């Protein structure tokens, strides 16, 4: 099939290229921007049946005047001293100024005597907005209010910072935008430099970048179209994740083709025959690898958290488009360029030693020792999974110097940590209740350990709903807070609720408690489904029963080692409260799905050598020698791509960057180039059963010539096949 595709593409390469360009231009021109369908609020992705979502829906009906995001301006003296009466007067004048200049996005600012800390070092100004924090008008209003606050307090001896939901979302959006610029620039430079080193050709270096750049533009447009058509938002991290994923796997696929193309050119094929042979031999591996990635990302549609259900299809769309480009667009360009693809580097042999050929000989001769060492390398870090702790704190995921984060640190020094985001307990009444019953209910809530201060309950205009705001004594996004609202507080509210009422816990803390519950459910569903899909895809490619089982087991081992090492580095080493809660599922999908590319390439080459008449041990060694350079180059580029996230300063991206970079290196250099071929060598023919046996009449192995330039092994007696 792939040979037919290659022959069709190479017969009309200009037609294929023009077709791609016209289709891409049409998609991009008539699609909305992906920025128009993104959302930074994780709670917005909760299913409607979650308690916090039900509470929010109830609040929107009962208290429409209180709808919209909120923020808090934390005011203090420059010298840290207690606020004087004059200072408090200045805070009052600040509120008057903000209210006099407010836009339609700002409901108003307020301040009273209860908003001064007990030690009088801090004052809080509460700001209400008329729309959700994700609304562009609200984000602009946050910037305007910060500017007006600085102007109003200039020369007064006072300083202020804005935090709270609206400010956190605004700062988060800016941090992600800055991160995307850094990632794009570093990724492009890194890939270009590495490809120049690998191929010593500017043409070969530029080819993957141009192909992936076109695919990225098409993919983001298609994702935006899907979001508009089906009425969903995508997480604000999606564009950045698409950048690293597409440049990573896209470069992988093009590298697989270019390495096989160069091998065929060195064997004497003309450029057209060489690219046909490359697509015919590597096309199945690319197709299977892309299918594994698409299946893994596609499994996320089974998740209940909207962030995952939109991230998965977005990445799956990108992978599908990239696979099509690798099998059609890239071969068409290569045919037109001919031998200029590798200009000015000539496809000749040079007398350099081959590290991959030596590694292949080691794997073939000492497979048991290689397996033991590889397992030890994985087992040690995997123990770190025992200390893994997820965190759900959006403020902790902001860069350390953002205003929302520094202002929150100030707030905690003078007020209960929960003052930032009060937890709201709603009573839905089916019949009238007395004020005394409501006060008894409030008193029972106040007695719950972890509740700092209950505030005055409010009745809806129709008297059908009562809301009781509570300030928690613990940080609103901490594990202790999530445990509190979903456990003791909810139990106490249910027990104390007057007869004939329904209780709903709302607010950001409850929202993230729901996010935690939904995420744990999603992990339990997505992981096994993705594992089964991997098994089926690998079984279809390898036509074997045993090999897919241990390949999946190995990448799971790589996932465990990577997650454990990351937990040890960030938790035990850097003292962070934990890793972002999305890290396990993202790491699992990227390491097992994208890392499976390398396992497929090595195993497919191993099977190819066996079918040419070699023993399984010799085939394992040759697979390392043949595929090693491509796997190593692709892994270094992909790891470098994700490694660029370490430069963003955004904790979420830094954690992903470290974890996925490490995972890719572990899968490529420990699992794909050591453990997979060594294990297959130990199992022998049983590993490939019931696959196609070698040609009749072959016994033992054929002699091998090794290309000393890059480790490409060429069988001396293999019949020439395109």
637: containing domain: 352-391+520-693+709-714
For residue 406, tell me if it sits in a domain.
Answer: no
Bigger pLDDT: 43 vs 259: 259
Cβ contact 593:298 at 8 Å: no
Taking residue 121's Cβ as centre, other Cβ atoms within 10 Å add up to: 17
Average pLDDT over residues 643-647: 86
Cβ contact 181:645 at 8 Å: no
Q: Do residues 160 and 212 both lie within one domain?
A: no
d(CA 441, CA 84): 38
pLDDT at res. 428? 92
> pLDDT tens across 106-119, in order?
999 999 877 899 99
**Cis peptide preceding 154, ω within 30 of 0:** no
d(CA 564, CA 385): 4
pLDDT for 349 beyond 50: no
Average pLDDT over residues 281-309: 83
Domain finish residue from 348, 375, 405: 348
pLDDT for 353 beyond 60: no
Question: Which tokens in the block code for residue 599?
Answer: 């396992």
Based on the structure, what is the number of domains in the chain?
A: 4
Confidence category of residue 354, pLDDT binned at 50, 70, 90 = low
Q: Do residues 115 and 211 both lie within one domain?
A: no
Q: Do residues 365 and 329 both lie within one domain?
A: no
pLDDT at res. 423? 93
Query: The CATH number of the domain where 25 resides is what?
Result: 1.20.1640.10
For residue 139, tell me if it sits in a domain.
Answer: yes
> pLDDT tens across 160-211, in order?
999 998 999 899 888 888 888 888 888 788 888 888 888 888 888 888 888 9
Q: Do residues 266 and 318 both lie within one domain?
A: yes
pLDDT at res. 714? 45
Query: The CATH number of the domain where 475 resides is what?
Result: 3.30.70.260
Alpha helix positions (H), 366-434: 367-382, 403-412
pLDDT at res. 235? 74
> pLDDT tens across 87-99, in order?
999 999 999 999 9
Place of tokens 């993705």: 530
Q: What is the DSSP letter of 116?
A: B
pTM: 0.79
Domain finish residue from 150, 170, 190: 170
For residue 684, tell me if it sits in a domain.
Answer: yes
| Mean pLDDT computed over every residue of the chain | 85
pLDDT at res. 642? 82
For residue 178, tell me if it sits in a domain.
Answer: no
pLDDT for 364 beyond 60: yes
pLDDT at res. 309? 78
E strands in 430-516: 451-454, 458-459, 465-472, 501-506
Bigger pLDDT: 26 vs 267: 26
Q: Do residues 548 and 678 both lie within one domain?
A: yes
Q: Do residues 56 and 92 both lie within one domain?
A: no
Backbone CA torsion sign across 228, 229, 230, 234: negative
For residue 182, tell me if it sits in a domain.
Answer: no
Taking residue 469's Cβ as centre, other Cβ atoms within 10 Å add up to: 17
Q: Do residues 528 and 541 both lie within one domain?
A: yes
Q: What is the DSSP letter of 430?
A: S
Q: Do residues 642 and 689 both lie within one domain?
A: yes
Q: Do residues 122 and 35 both lie within one domain?
A: no
For residue 416, tell me if it sits in a domain.
Answer: no
pLDDT for 706 beyond 90: no
Bigger pLDDT: 673 vs 268: 673
Cβ contact 438:497 at 8 Å: no
> pLDDT tens across 551-606, in order?
989 988 999 999 999 999 998 888 888 898 888 887 877 777 777 778 888 988 89
> pLDDT tens across 7-47, in order?
999 899 999 999 999 999 999 998 888 877 776 655 556 78
For residue 383, tell me if it sits in a domain.
Answer: yes
pLDDT for 347 beyond 80: no
pLDDT at res. 717? 39
Q: Do residues 539 and 554 both lie within one domain?
A: yes
Q: Do residues 220 and 327 both lie within one domain?
A: yes
Q: Do residues 239 and 300 both lie within one domain?
A: yes
pLDDT for 709 beyond 60: no
For residue 398, tell me if it sits in a domain.
Answer: no
Confidence category of residue 713, pLDDT binned at 50, 70, 90 = very low
pLDDT at res. 248? 75
pLDDT for 658 beyond 70: yes
d(CA 308, CA 297): 9
For the chain, give the percent of residues with pLDDT over 70. Answer: 93
pLDDT at res. 527? 84
d(CA 272, CA 265): 10
């Amino acid at each position: 099939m792939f040979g037919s595709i290659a022959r069709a593409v190479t017969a009309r390469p200009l037609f294929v290229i023009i077709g791609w360009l016209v289709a891409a231009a049409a998609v991009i021109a008539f699609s909305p921007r992906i920025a128009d369908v993104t959302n930074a609020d994780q709670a917005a992705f909760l299913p409607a049946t979650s308690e916090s979502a039900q509470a929010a829906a109830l609040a929107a009906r009962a208290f429409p005047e209180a709808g919209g995001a909120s923020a808090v301006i934390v005011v203090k003296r420059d010298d840290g001293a207690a606020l004087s009466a004059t200072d408090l007067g200045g805070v009052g004048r600040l509120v008057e100024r903000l209210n006099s200049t407010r836009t339609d996005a700002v409901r108003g600012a307020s301040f009273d005597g209860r908003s001064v800390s007990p030690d009088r070092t801090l004052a809080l100004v509460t700001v209400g907005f008329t729309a959700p924090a994700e609304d562009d008008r609200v984000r602009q209003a946050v910037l305007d209010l910060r500017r007006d606050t600085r102007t109003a307090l200039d020369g007064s001896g006072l300083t202020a910072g804005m935090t709270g939901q609206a400010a956190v979302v605004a700062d988060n959006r800016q941090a992600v935008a800055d991160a995307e610029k850094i990632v794009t620039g570093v990724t492009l430079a890194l890939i270009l430099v590495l490809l120049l080193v690998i191929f010593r050709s500017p043409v070969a270096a530029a080819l993957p970048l141009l192909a992936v750049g076109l695919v990225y533009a098409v993919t983001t447009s298609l994702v935006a179209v899907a979001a508009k058509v089906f009425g969903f938002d995508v997480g604000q991290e999606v564009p950045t994740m698409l950048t690293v994923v597409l440049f990573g796997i896209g470069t992988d696929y093009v590298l697989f083709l270019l390495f096989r193309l160069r091998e065929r050119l060195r064997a004497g094929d003309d450029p057209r025959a060489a690219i046909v042979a490359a697509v015919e031999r590597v096309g199945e591996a690319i197709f299977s690898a892309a299918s594994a990635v698409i299946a893994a990302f596609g499994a996320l549609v089974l998740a209940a958290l909207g962030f995952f259900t939109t991230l998965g299809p977005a990445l799956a769309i990108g992978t599908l488009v990239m696979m099509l480009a690798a099998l059609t667009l890239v071969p068409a360009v290569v045919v037109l360029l001919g031998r200029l693809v590798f200009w000015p580097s000539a496809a000749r042999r040079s007398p350099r030693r081959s590290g991959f050929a030596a590694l292949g000989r080691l794997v073939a001769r000492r497979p048991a020792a290689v397996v033991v060492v590889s397992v030890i390398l994985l087992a040690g870090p995997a123990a770190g999974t025992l200390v893994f702790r997820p965190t759900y704190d959006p403020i902790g995921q902001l860069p350390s110097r953002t205003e929302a984060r520094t202002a929150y640190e100030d707030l905690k020094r003078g007020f209960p940590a929960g003052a930032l985001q009060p937890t709201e307990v709603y009573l839905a009444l089916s019949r009238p209740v007395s004020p005394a019953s409501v006060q008894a209910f409030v008193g029972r809530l106040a007695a719950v350990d972890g509740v700092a201060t209950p505030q005055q309950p409010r009745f809806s205009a129709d008297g059908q709903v009562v809301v009781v705001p509570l300030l928690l004594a613990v940080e609103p996004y901490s594990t202790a807070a999530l445990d509190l609202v979903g456990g003791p507080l909810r139990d106490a509210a249910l027990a104390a609720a007057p007869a004939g009422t329904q209780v709903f816990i709302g607010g950001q803390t409850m929202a993230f408690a729901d996010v935690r519950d939904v995420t744990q459910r999603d992990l339990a569903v997505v992981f096994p489904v993705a594992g089964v899909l991997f098994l089926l895809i690998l079984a279809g490619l390898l036509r074997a029963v045993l090999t897919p089982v241990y390949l999946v087991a190995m990448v799971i081992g790589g996932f465990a080692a990577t997650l454990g090492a990351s937990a040890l580095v960030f938790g035990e080493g850097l003292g962070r409260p934990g890793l972002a809660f999305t890290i396990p599922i993202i790491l699992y999908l990227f390491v097992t799905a994208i890392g499976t590319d390398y396992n497929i390439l090595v195993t497919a080459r191993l099977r190819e050598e066996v079918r040419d008449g070699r023993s399984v041990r010799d085939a394992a060694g040759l697979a390392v020698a043949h595929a090693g350079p491509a796997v190593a180059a692709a892994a270094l580029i992909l790891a470098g791509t994700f490694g660029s996230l370490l430069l963003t300063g955004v904790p979420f991206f830094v954690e992903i960057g470290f974890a996925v970079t490490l995972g890719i290196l572990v899968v490529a250099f420990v699992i794909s180039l050591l453990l997979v071929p060594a294990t297959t060598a130990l199992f022998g023919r049983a590993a490939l059963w019931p696959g196609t046996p070698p040609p009749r009449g072959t016994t033992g192995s054929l002699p091998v010539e090794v290309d000393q330039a890059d480790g490409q092994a060429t069988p001396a007696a293999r019949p020439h096949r395109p």
